[in-house]
Amino acid sequence: MPNAASLLTSASASAPKPKPASAPTSNQKTPTGLNVFRLEGLPHFKTGDSLADLLIAHLDHNEVALVNGDILVIAHKVVSKCEGALRRLSEVTPTQSALDLAESVRKDPRKVQIIIDQSKRILRAVRRPEQQEGVLIAEHKRGYICANAAVDESNSDDPDILITLPDDPDASAKAIAGQLEAHFGITLGVIISDTFGRPWRLGQTNVAIGVANVPALNLMAGETDAYGRPLTVTAPALADELAAASGLLMDKSAQTPVIVFRGLDWQATDSSGQDLIRAQQEDLFR
């Protein structure tokens, strides 16, 4: 285990059919309208549940059919709960590294130990005013840069349990997509999201951490803008844009962790949430 020193460095039933799998280039038509809705009345998810089976049962019971080209954005916490990506504080024994780091930022050392376990490294440990917990900015094992390595207690129904990210969000998204596609006889996309802060910006927004079928990026280099000028580096982060938009309907207090987007023109591709992580050698602020 790394030590503290090393760590501190109601919708229309029609939608365009996705084109055959291809490289995630753009060439997609911008829709003039988009239908976005959330699935309400979903059950309480628990470890061992099949998320896809419960979604299918809920949709069938409510006579709601997914259609070709739908994209589902699913909050990672329900995926984590179903997969058992949870840690009990009462079962954690902090190491000396965790005790030292916890003292520096006034956090529960057991939570700090879980953060360390979920991290490649801790980038910053910042102490806040005396009445507040400090901040740990970490590089998660899968490469995400975020607060506390995405370890969180919100939406946990037991104060002793902290929720971590799924072990492989891409695999989770692909498994869910595959079951839904088989049941409804369609092609669809699945994005698993989490809520991150952003450098130089206040507030948080949802981002994509797992992707199935949907292009994570639309590479537009070689296309032209509205005035005919060639584009060189333009690459809209489609999966992040959808994840962020899902936050408008993903009410944390209403248990609505699944949002459906209908009406987008998109090309199915073998993509990954990892496609959105900037390489370390491109970090201009190291």
Q: Is the pTM of this model over 0.75?
A: yes
How does pLDDT run across 39-92, given as a tens digit for each residue? 999 999 999 999 999 999 999 999 999 999 999 999 999 999 999 999 999 999
**284: pLDDT confidence band, cut at 50, 70 and 90?**
confident
Q: Which residue in 188, 177, 174 sits closest to 18, CA to CA? A: 188
Q: In this structure, which amino acid lies at residue 12?
A: S
Average the pLDDT over 206-223 and give the result. 83
How does pLDDT run across 65-78, given as a tens digit for each residue? 999 999 999 999 99
Give the pLDDT confidence score for residue 221 in this predicted structure.
54
Cβ–Cβ under 8 Å, residues 190 and 20: no
Give the pair of three-digit tokens for residue 100: 């030292």
3-state secondary structure of 110: helix
Length of the chain: 286
Q: Which residues of 16-32 are buried (b: 16+ CB within 10 A; e: fewer)?
A: eebeeeeebbbebeeee
**Is pLDDT at 24 greater than 50 in this prediction?**
no
**Is pLDDT at 11 greater than 70 in this prediction?**
no
CATH number of 87-150: 3.90.1660.10
- The rounded percent of the chain whose pLDDT value lies above 90 is 68
Give the pLDDT confidence score for residue 2 in this predicted structure.
47
- The rounded percent of the chain whose pLDDT value lies above 70 is 83
Give the pLDDT confidence score for residue 220 in this predicted structure.
52
Q: 4 or 94, which is more confident? A: 94
**Is pLDDT at 110 greater than 50 in this prediction?**
yes
H or E stretch at 5: helix 4-7
Average the pLDDT over 228-244 and give the result. 80
**20: pLDDT confidence band, cut at 50, 70 and 90?**
very low
DSSP 225: -
**Is pLDDT at 196 greater than 60 in this prediction?**
yes
Give the pLDDT confidence score for residue 234 in this predicted structure.
62
CATH number of 10-85+166-276: 3.30.1330.100
Using only the alpha carbons of the chain, give its radius of gyration.
Answer: 20
Average the pLDDT over 231-242 and give the result. 80
Domain ranges of the chain: 10-85+166-276, 87-150
Give the pair of three-digit tokens for residue 140: 């998660």
**Is pLDDT at 271 greater than 70 in this prediction?**
yes
- 234 DSSP β-pair partners: none
**Is pLDDT at 9 greater than 60 in this prediction?**
no
Average pLDDT over all residues of the chain: 86
